[in-house]
Structures are given as structure tokens and as C-alpha cells.
Amino acid sequence: MKNKLLKALELDKNGDWDGAHKLVQDVGNRDAYWIHAYLHRKEPDLSNASYWYYRAQRPMPKTSFDKEWQEIHDFIEQHYIS
């Protein structure tokens, strides 16, 4: 799971929004929902993002995309075993 979530973040970082979205859209956990929300906020599709932040049980941030990306990345690195 960790590798899939980190791969989605890397795809997004490298400009492949669609690839990142495809990786997380069918994963059923809150951390994938968080990435999904972030992607829709970045799109921007704020109503869809709001839905996914709700599913992830996280508020929609007011920070930059880069800061949120790093926050998600660090969280996954710290909370998942390789």
C-alpha cells in the first residue's frame, strides 16, 4: 500500500495527474482518499475535493499544493511499513 500511495504522489509531482488519480481512485482507505482530495483540489474541482476530504476525515487545507503534498508524503512515510 505504501508504495502505491507514494507512487501516486510521485506521478503527480512529475505532472501525471491522470496517472496519480487512476492509482488512488479505487483504493479504499483514508490516506488514499486524502491524496484523491488533494488531486481534485489541485485540478481544481473543489466540490469533488470537499467530498474526498470528508471521506479522508480531514479539513480542506488553505496551504499551498506543495506544502500539502509534502505533508501527505511525510505522513505516509511515517505511518506505513515498506
> What percent of the chain is predicted at pLDDT more than 90?
93
pLDDT at residue 26 above 70?
yes
Q: Which domains does the chain have, with CATH numbers?
A: 2-79 (1.25.40)
Check pLDDT > 70 for residue 25. Answer: yes
The number of C-alpha atoms within 13 Å of 75 and in the hemisphere containing its C-beta is 13
Q: By C-alpha distance, which of 70, 71, 69, 39 is closest to 53? A: 39
pLDDT in tens, 57-80: 999 999 999 999 999 999 999 998
Contacts of 62 (CB under 8 A, 6+ apart): none
Closest Cα to residue 34, out of 69, 81, 80, 79?
69
